[in-house]
Structure 1
Amino acid sequence: MKSKYIYLILSPLIIIIAVFAVSALPEKEPEAPLEGKSDLAVKVEYAKLETLHNTIEVTGKLKAKDRYEIYAEVEGRLLSSAKKFREGNYYKKGQVVLQIDKQERYMTLLADKSNFMTDLTAILPDLKEDFSESYPTWNQYLKEFDIHQPLKELPTPKTEKEKYFIAGNGIYSSYYTIKSSEEKLSKYTIYAPFNGVISKSNVEAGTAVRAGEELGEMVSLSSYELEVTAPLKDIEHFKKGSKVNLYSSELETEWTGTVIRIGSTLDANSQSVKVYIQTSGKDLKEGMFLTAKVNSTSFEDAIQIPRKLIFEENQIFIVENNKLKIQKIEVLESFRSEAIVKGVSANSAVLMTNIKNPYEGMKVQVMK
């Protein structure tokens, strides 16, 4: 019992002594900043004010301007010339592309010409007697007649009576029948209409073809047409005859094109208009995609910066005396990743480094 009272008396004394002991200890001085701690290194670009242009870019698919779909106008069997009729093969203008067997048609034509020659011979005596002035002309025509050559134009009658005489003997009818056969015979041989390559081949040598059957397709390599779709708000910058720059994302080459047509109708869904651009040059191929660049509005005393540097819609950071400073700007035009802005003084150090949680007055070190 006595020890219990002693414990109750000593406990408060011990607590009071501990409190005085702690308060008597020296206060801990605040930690001094680390000497030599480096500021954040950043990249800047010094504003160079200039006149910038808003560039409109539209992409389309390249097509050959001259395209020739080859159809059979007669029926028959394809000859060996069809062996070369393959995609990618080149033909010069006027070169034979395909031949269809015409032997039977040719022999029929020779027979018709032979009969025509007989008819002319039969009327010569009457011409000599009744139309003596015209006889020498018709006689000379018959002498020069060659069944293996195309028919020459018939002599012109000198009188109405002579014309009726010639017509009554079936000369005109036979003449135009033969000329029609000659024209049809020419369709058995197909010639290249221009310098170009075969882009599609549907036939083989030796196969029989029918009139109206598609045999293939040929395209010219000298000129191409690019069809692009321009937004309605930008169509005013495309003028017929104006030059545009063209480039491919796959090749490090640029070409120049000319606007040759502008569509007259508007696509209701996309609110766009079709524009057709003609171009030519090395490395261009049917089916490749090209992008057309057209300069539109000009902006003076402006700079172009990455869009990611803009915050609060109209602010960027510049660096002054190794500290960040907020600079208000006017965004004139925005692209996919870039923006044209003004409001920055010439030679201002525009911050080009993305910093986590930047603030005005933040100390930085400009990288040299």
Structure 2
Amino acid sequence: MRKIILSVIGVLVIIGSILLAKSLIASKNKPKPVLEKVVKTVFIDTVKNGQIQIEIPGNGSLVAKRRVEIYSEVQGIFKTSNVLFKPGQKYNAGQSLINLDASEYYATVQSAKSNLYNAIAAIMPDLRLDFPEIYQKWQNYLNAFDLSKSAPQLPEMSSEKENYFITGRGIVSSYYNLKNLEQRLAKYTIRAPFTGILTEALVTEGTFIRNGQKLGEFIDPSEYEMEVAISKSFASLLKVGEEVQLTNMDKTNTYIGKISRVNGSIDQATQTITTYIDVKDPNLKEGLYLEANIKGETVEDAIEIDRNLLLEDNQIFILTNGMLNAISVTPVYFSDTKVVLKEVPNGTIILKRPVPGAYVGMLVKPFDASANQ
């Protein structure tokens, strides 16, 4: 009985082995699955060479083209006036900004003026006797002499004798001493050099002002200047008188300025050249930050693309027969986001947007906007 059971088990093992072998042979003959090739969709553009206007970016803050720091050359008490000396106050050209109390110094000037008048009056009898031909000239000078006004210029000397006589009496030295005092007296009143606005006031009425003390700042708000640092590589593109488009940081307002000056030297530390742009607009204020687009030269037969489409070895991807290829190009200008290229044949199909992981020979297909509608 035992032999029969072992014989049956042996037959079953042999049959199972045969079936397993047939199954393995059948599985080897099955065809391998074909992997579907992935074809990426890309955005493309067709090259059309033309004129590209190069724009050089820059930025800076506005500064009044005409500004004056107000200092005192004399000392005295700041007298009150009808117009308060406060920031934002407007003044016309020649209008008094600050009046210092000059009563004591005014008396000194009047004393010197009186001394000059007396010195001339004392020589009049001698002039009548010894120099009758010039007597009337000096008499007319005395008649025009007004102690309440600035001393008139001395009559012109007509002869050497007259010069010696007048100079010997100390009249010429007294006259110039008086004019020196009058010049200093005028400094007790500080006037606006031009029509403008006060932007800084460091003193108030009643303050004792000292010689050399800074009193404030005064600007002309009708014209501003912006200083822009431009890379030295663009120095040849900067032209005095060229119009420049200026925009504020919010891109809400646009202004037109002009290049007024270009520095003749390059900053050794930054390797930039300083350019000055003039701009006029009633809405502008000093200190406003603006961005400038300076027009440079016009490049013929060129295209402009995004900088991230340019490969490291000055190549760009093109589309030929459904796959990517690369061609060499010549970059002529780089901005922050764009690059201007030459030597790209017309009609060449190039990428409009970068493709992650792109390589030469990669299968791609152009994006069809009509298929998604």
TM-score (norm 1): 0.81
Following superposition, the deviation at residue 249 of structure 1 comes to 4.8
Cα-to-partner distance string for 1:285-335 (whole Å, 9 max, x where unaligned): 433444554455544332211122344641324376xx4443524142333
Give the 5 Å matches for 1:16-27: 16-17=18-19, 20=22
Map of 1:262 onto structure 2: 263
Give the 5 Å matches for 1:181-192: 181-192=181-192
> How far apart, in 1, do the equivalents of 2:137 and 2:194 lie?
40
Residue 275 of structure 1 pairs with residue 274 of structure 2: yes
Q: What amino acid is aligned across from residue 275 of structure 1 in structure 2? A: T
- Could you tell me whether the CA contact under 8 Å between 1:328 and 1:343 is conserved in 2? no
Count of residue correspondences:
359
Map of 1:233 onto structure 2: 233
> How far apart, in 2, do the equivalents of 1:347 and 1:5 lie?
84
Following superposition, the deviation at residue 153 of structure 1 comes to 1.6
Map of 2:369 onto structure 1: 367
Map of 2:176 onto structure 1: 176
- Could you tell me whether the CA contact under 8 Å between 1:73 and 1:187 is conserved in 2? yes
> How far apart, in 2, do the equivalents of 1:24 and 1:159 lie?
141
> How far apart, in 2, do the equivalents of 1:280 and 1:88 lie?
21
Residue 204 of structure 1 pairs with residue 204 of structure 2: yes
> How far apart, in 1, do the equivalents of 2:130 and 2:8 lie?
174
Map of 1:243 onto structure 2: 242
Map of 2:254 onto structure 1: 253
Change (3 A) 1:157 1:315: closer
> How far apart, in 1, do the equivalents of 2:362 and 2:299 lie?
29
Between 6-15 and 203-212, report the one with greater CA deviation.
6-15
Change (3 A) 1:235 1:332: same
Between 146-155 and 246-255, report the one with greater CA deviation.
246-255
Map of 2:325 onto structure 1: 326
Q: SS of 1:346's equivalent?
A: coil
Cα-to-partner distance string for 1:211-238 (whole Å, 9 max, x where unaligned): 1112122222344443333433332333
> How far apart, in 2, do the equivalents of 1:124 and 1:52 lie?
84
- Could you tell me whether the CA contact under 8 Å between 2:90 and 2:197 is conserved in 1? yes
Q: CA RMSD in A?
A: 3.5
Q: What amino acid is aligned across from residue 126 of structure 1 in structure 2? A: D
Residue 135 of structure 1 pairs with residue 135 of structure 2: yes
Change (3 A) 1:327 1:181: same
> How far apart, in 1, do the equivalents of 2:343 and 2:160 lie?
92
> How far apart, in 1, do the equivalents of 2:331 and 2:138 lie?
85
- Could you tell me whether the CA contact under 8 Å between 2:39 and 2:363 is conserved in 1? no
Q: Percent identity?
A: 30
Q: SS of 1:269's equivalent?
A: coil
Map of 2:112 onto structure 1: 112
Q: SS of 2:228's equivalent?
A: strand
Cα-to-partner distance string for 1:68-110 (whole Å, 9 max, x where unaligned): 2211111101122496333333322212111111122223322
Map of 1:164 onto structure 2: 164
Map of 2:72 onto structure 1: 72
4+ residue runs of structure 1 moved beyond 6 angstroms? 21-25, 27-34
Q: SS of 1:73's equivalent?
A: coil
Gaps of 5+ in 2: none
TM-score (norm 2): 0.80
Cα-to-partner distance string for 1:101-157 (whole Å, 9 max, x where unaligned): 112222332233334333333333333233323333333322332111111122334
